[in-house]
């Protein structure tokens, strides 16, 4: 589409949001968390003993009685109304992958025909939204559609301000009448509990004073921004969040000039606006920068306890989109909106923290601390090794299939990066030799059997799907549009499972060995030996790694229907059940829902491909075909003896070839699509969509992308890559 024809919406279309933004103050600390019903606000508004009870419930997961709930509800209502809220909602995360909310106003009619604002403990603690339209994966039949939301006091309530008003949002879990989880949060909370128990048991060897262990999460969020006007003209972006067609722009990311480049004014205005909204909600955003691909960006918060971090990441995604719209921009969170350039991920920085403020993945100063560090580190490596298929399943989606293994994204092979120093440490540990550090910055573990390690392990490998980065792991294979609850739940679970085993193995050895140190080292040596095939230090993006991984017997599962099998393998199902994270039925429901989601995604794309080809691309190409044919005819009429028009004829032939190729392929796609639609078994259906339907997208796209280079710019029906990715 010709640029001149675009009614571009430059930054002057940026709307002011019309809110009384407390955030006009310059200092972030002045308004940070002003829309959060956090401990500070509670302490101010609640009677002392009620406050203590609530804090205890939050810290220790104890239940609190209705009296306390009533007091909290009353304080929450007063606070929310003072912030302009007229409604409240239970904010939950059903298995759709996005958040859900059903608003109720505070009003209650009085006998004299007026209304009063009311909000009781009962309304705070539990609600029963009509849940019939949420996916349950067979957990709940539609005719008995009861679903309950229940307050999760560990994630604070907040006020969501939108142009139309303000709403009190109460984070909740979502369960069926029988208590089965219908959401992503319940299993996450359960996995945290399992991890807490297992990690504390191991920590006991090391004489800890910690009473609680939890997972921590810092989710870097990548996204694209394009002008909203372009977005509106791309049905594929609107309905599938990815471009199903589009020839590469002559300039893509090859100049490497976007990464960390100076941020354009319009983007900067958007970023600061979004940040303000998120600061008000207590999201501790820290970092912002341009990413590798054109018009690709990233933001990252300071890490928090995983439960809260998951909610905060949902808010980040929600607000990036809302605020982008205010700035005349569209924010794309999809994993691969544009072919041929980088996709977007959500780098999940994950670690284990204690209530005493310790990071269990931080190497310590004493031999004792380091033995503890190695115990957790090696247990995690073993967990990833033993459950790599499940970990792969945790990040499977139709969007991520395009990203894993494509342009600068970690491949579908799950491996662990440790860095040169740690690898040496573990290799020597395995061999039973002591490495003596020579450089001053080497820090000795001081235990004869454990060699030295670099204190500040800044060694980085940006190609690894699961990289140790000094004091945490970075799970980089997670897709940008994901709800983090699921991958974090899986990570927590496999580590909890392993830590239980680690304790058993150490106990076993302690029967014969006197020293804890010897018992632990013996176990770690065994684990590392058994699982080091999953460790890889080289370039994960290379072809050699694919071959090497195959030689090592590591799975390389490229597509979602197959990857999801990892979720329902016997070991996975039993593990979740043992840990109390997911019942068998709950695990199978997730598998079912994820397969269904995959089918629906590809189904939407198939319909879009057919529709866009027939109603947009073919008409444009045929119009030009007509023009060319006309030219040839006219030229022949003009001079029948020596007809000109060689160029026109060649163009016509090229054009016709592509038109025919696309039309033939769309016919095949249509047939494959109809056949897939009629398959009953969801697993078979997903495979058919993946391997029989989807391949035609590429054939059709190839023809259309060639047409894009032939058809006059002014006839082209949609914005091109070179416009969407560069004009902002």
Q: Minimum Å distance from CB 610 to ligand ADP?
A: 40
Burial of residue 549 (number of CB atoms within 10 Å: 0-12, 13-18, 19+): buried
Q: What's the Cα-to-Cα distance from 490 to each of 187, 252, 306, 325, 422, rounded to whole Å?
A: 9, 36, 12, 34, 25
Pick out residues in 262-301 that bind ligand ADP (CB under 6 A).
287, 300-301
From the list 219-227, 587-595, 605-613, 664-672, the region that binds Mg ion by CB under 5 A is 219-227
From the list 68-76, 213-221, 378-386, 634-642, the region that binds Mg ion by CB under 5 A is 213-221
Q: Minimum Å distance from CB 284 to ligand ADP?
A: 8
| Contact between 488 and 217 (Cβ < 8 Å) | yes
Q: Minimum Å distance from CB 391 to Mg ion?
A: 21
222 binds, among ligand ADP, Mg ion, none (CB under 5 to 8 A by kind): none
Could you say which of 218, 294, 345, 465 contacts ligand ADP (CB under 6 A)?
218
Task: Let me know the angle formed at the C-alpha of 249 by 223 and 12, rounded to the nearest 5 degrees.
Answer: 55
Q: Packing angle between helix 584-612 and helix 695-708, nearest 10 degrees? A: 30
> And the tokens for 336?
């691969």
Question: CA nearest 313: which of 221, 401, 402, 248?
Answer: 221
The upper half-sphere exposure of residue 390, i.e. CA atoms within 13 Å in the direction of its Cβ, equals: 27
| Contact between 476 and 491 (Cβ < 8 Å) | no
> Residue 220, interface with Mg ion (CB under 5 A)?
yes
Pick out residues in 178-217 that bind ligand ADP (CB under 6 A).
216-217
The upper half-sphere exposure of residue 612, i.e. CA atoms within 13 Å in the direction of its Cβ, equals: 26
216 binds, among Mg ion, ligand ADP, none (CB under 5 to 8 A by kind): ligand ADP
Q: Minimum Å distance from CB 475 to Mg ion?
A: 13
* Binding-site size, ligand ADP (CB under 6 A): 17
Q: How far apart are CA 591 and CA 585, in angstroms?
A: 10
Pick out residues in 296-335 that bind ligand ADP (CB under 6 A).
300-303
Our CB check for ligand ADP shows the closer of 349 and 375 to be 349
648 binds, among ligand ADP, Mg ion, none (CB under 5 to 8 A by kind): none
Q: Minimum Å distance from CB 374 to ligand ADP?
A: 17
* Binding-site size, Mg ion (CB under 5 A): 1
Cross-strand pairs, 526: none
Q: Minimum Å distance from CB 471 to ligand ADP?
A: 6
Looking only at the bridges linking them, the beta strands covering 416-417 and 466-468 are parallel
Cross-strand pairs, 206: none
Pick out residues in 451-490 that bind ligand ADP (CB under 6 A).
471-472, 474
φ/ψ region of 41 (left if φ > 0, alpha if ψ in -120 to 50, else beta) reads alpha
Pick out residues in 338-367 that bind ligand ADP (CB under 6 A).
347, 349-351, 359
From the list 132-140, 215-223, 579-587, 704-712, the region that binds Mg ion by CB under 5 A is 215-223
> Residue 183, interface with Mg ion (CB under 5 A)?
no
Q: What's the Cα-to-Cα distance from 243 to each of 226, 322, 373, 408, 498, rounded to whole Å?
A: 12, 21, 45, 19, 42
Our CB check for ligand ADP shows the closer of 296 and 589 to be 296
Pick out residues in 377-436 that bind ligand ADP (CB under 6 A).
none
Q: Minimum Å distance from CB 290 to ligand ADP?
A: 13
| Contact between 292 and 256 (Cβ < 8 Å) | yes
Q: How far apart are CA 202 and CA 510, in angstroms?
A: 13
User: To which residue do tokens 């029963």 refer?
Assistant: 128
9 binds, among ligand ADP, Mg ion, none (CB under 5 to 8 A by kind): none
Our CB check for Mg ion shows the closer of 123 and 349 to be 349
> Residue 275, interface with Mg ion (CB under 5 A)?
no
Site residues (vs ligand ADP, CB under 6 A) = 216-218, 220, 287, 300-303, 347, 349-351, 359, 471-472, 474
Site residues (vs Mg ion, CB under 5 A) = 220
């Amino acid at each position: 589409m010709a640029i001149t024809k675009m009614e571009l919406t430059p930054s002057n279309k940026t709307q002011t949001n019309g809110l009384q933004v407390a955030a006009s103050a310059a200092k972030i600390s002045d308004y940070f968390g002003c829309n959060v019903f956090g401990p500070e606000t509670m302490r101010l508004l609640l009677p002392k003993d009620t406050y203590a009870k609530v804090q205890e419930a939050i810290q220790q997961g104890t239940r609190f009685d209705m009296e306390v709930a009533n007091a909290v509800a009353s304080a929450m209502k007063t606070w929310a109304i003072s912030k302009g809220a007229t409604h409240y909602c239970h904010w939950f995360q059903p298995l759709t992958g996005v958040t859900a909310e059903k608003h109720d106003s505070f009003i209650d009619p009085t006998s004299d025909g007026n209304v009063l604002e009311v909000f009781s403990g009962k309304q705070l603690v539990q609600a029963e939204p009509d849940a019939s339209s949420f996916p349950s994966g067979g957990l709940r039949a539609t005719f008995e559609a009861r679903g309950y939301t229940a307050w999760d006091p560990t994630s604070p309530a907040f006020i969501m301000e939108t142009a139309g008003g303000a709403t009190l949002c109460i984070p909740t879990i979502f369960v069926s009448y029988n208590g089965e989880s219908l959401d992503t949060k319940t299993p996450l909370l359960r996995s945290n509990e399992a991890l807490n128990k297992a990690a504390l048991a191991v920590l006991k060897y090391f004489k800890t004073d910690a009473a609680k262990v939890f997972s921590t999460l810092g989710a870097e969020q990548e996204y694209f921004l394009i002008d909203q006007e372009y977005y509106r003209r791309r049905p594929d972006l609107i309905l599938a969040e990815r471009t199903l067609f589009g020839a590469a722009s002559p300039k893509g990311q090859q100049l490497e000039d976007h990464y960390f480049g100076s941020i354009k004014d319009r983007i900067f205005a958007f970023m600061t606006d979004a940040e303000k909204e998120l600061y008000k909600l207590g999201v501790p955003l820290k970092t912002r920068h341009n990413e590798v691909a054109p018009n690709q960006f990233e933001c990252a918060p300071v890490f928090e306890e995983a439960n809260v971090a998951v909610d905060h990441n949902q808010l980040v995604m929600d607000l990036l989109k809302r605020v982008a719209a205010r700035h005349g921009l569209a924010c794309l969170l999809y994993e691969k909106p544009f072919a041929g350039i980088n996709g977007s991920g959500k780098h999940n920085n994950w670690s284990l923290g204690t209530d005493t403020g310790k990071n269990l993945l931080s190497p310590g100063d004493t031999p004792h601390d380091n033995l503890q560090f190695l115990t957790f580190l090696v247990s995690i490596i073993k967990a990833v090794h033993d459950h790599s298929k499940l970990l792969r399943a945790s990040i499977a989606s139709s969007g991520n299939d395009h990203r894993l293994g494509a342009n600068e994204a970690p491949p579908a092979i799950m491996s662990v990066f440790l860095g040169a120093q740690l690898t040496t440490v573990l290799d020597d540990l395995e061999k039973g030799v002591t490495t003596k550090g020579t450089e001053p910055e080497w820090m000795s573990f001081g235990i004869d059997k454990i060699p030295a390690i670099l204190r500040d392990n800044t060694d980085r490998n940006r190609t690894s799907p699961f990289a140790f980065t000094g004091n945490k792991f970075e799970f980089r294979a997670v897709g940008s549009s994901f709800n983090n609850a699921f991958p974090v739940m899986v990570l927590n679970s496999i580590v909890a499972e392993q830590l239980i085993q680690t304790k058993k193995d150490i106990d076993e050895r302690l029967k014969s060995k006197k020293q804890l140190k010897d018992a632990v080292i013996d176990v770690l040596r065994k684990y590392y030996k058994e699982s080091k095939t999953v460790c890889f230090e080289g370039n994960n993006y290379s072809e050699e790694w694919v071959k090497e991984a195959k030689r090592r017997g590591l799975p390389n599962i490229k597509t979602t229907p197959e990857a999801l099998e990892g979720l329902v393998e016997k070991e996975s199902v039993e593990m979740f059940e043992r840990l109390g994270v997911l019942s068998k039925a709950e695990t199978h429901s997730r598998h079912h829902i994820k397969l269904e989601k995959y089918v629906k995604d590809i189904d939407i794309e198939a319909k879009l491909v057919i529709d866009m080809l027939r109603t947009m691309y073919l008409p444009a190409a045929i119009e030009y075909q007509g023009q060319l044919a006309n030219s040839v005819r006219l030229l022949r009429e003009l001079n029948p003896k020596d007809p000109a028009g060689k160029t026109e004829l060649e163009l016509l032939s090229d054009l016709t070839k592509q038109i025919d190729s696309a039309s033939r392929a769309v016919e095949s796609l249509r047939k494959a699509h109809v056949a897939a639609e009629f398959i009953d078994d969801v697993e078979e259906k997903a495979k058919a969509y993946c391997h029989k339907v989807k391949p035609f997208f590429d054939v059709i796209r190839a023809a259309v992308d060639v047409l894009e280079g032939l058809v006059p710019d002014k006839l082209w029906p949609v914005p091109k890559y070179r416009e969407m990715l560069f004009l902002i």
